[in-house]
Amino acid sequence: ALFAAEPREGIKAGLVTGLPFHIGAIGEYDFGVASASVALGYGYGSFLLRMGGDYHFDKPFVNSDWGIDLYLSVGGHLDIFIFSGGAAVALGIPVTWSWHMDDLPLKFFVKAGPEIFFNFGGLDFLGSAGAMYQF
C-alpha cells in the first residue's frame, strides 16, 4: 500500500500538464486548510495564465481496492488564454486528488472538472496532472 504523508504547509513549485493539451509551470502556497496557486504555460494553442484556489479536506480518502491514500480538494480557477487573435476567459471547478511522499517533500496531483468558456460560450472538461516540490 502507498500510504500518504500528511500535506505540508508552505511554498511548492513544479510542472503541470493535461488534456486538452496544456503544459506549464505551477506555484502554490498551502495555508493548511486551503491553498492558492498560479500557473503559466501553453494551452489550447495560446499562452495560459491560471489562478486558482482549493479547499482541502483534512482526512485522506482511503480506498482499500487501490491500496493508496489520497487527499481530496475542491476549488476553482480562472484561466486567461492569450492568442494572436485576442484573448479568452474561462472558469473551472476542479476536484483534486493529491499524494504526498513520505521521504521527500514532493506532491503529486490529478485534477479533473468542468470549465466554462465565457468568450466563446462553451463547456469543456479539463484534466491535469503534475508534481510539485516543497521548499
Give the pLDDT score at 44.
Answer: 78
CA–CA separation, 49 and 89 (whole Å): 10
Q: What's the pLDDT tens digit per position in 83-101?
A: 888 898 999 999 999 988 8
Residue 30 CA to residue 67 CA, distance in Å, equals: 26
> What digits encode the pLDDT tens for the residues 20-70?
889 999 999 999 999 999 999 998 789 999 999 999 998 887 765 666 778
Q: What's the N-to-C CA distance of the chain in angstroms? A: 27
User: What does the mean pLDDT of the chain come to?
Assistant: 90
- The pLDDT of residue 69 is 79
Q: Is the pLDDT of residue 109 over 80?
A: yes
pLDDT at site 80: 93
The model's pTM is: 0.88
pLDDT level of residue 4 (50, 70, 90 thresholds): low
Dig out the grid coordinates for 120 from the structure: 466563446
pLDDT band at 73 (very low <50, low <70, confident <90, very high): very high
pLDDT at 103: 82
CB–CB of 16/41 below 8 Å? yes
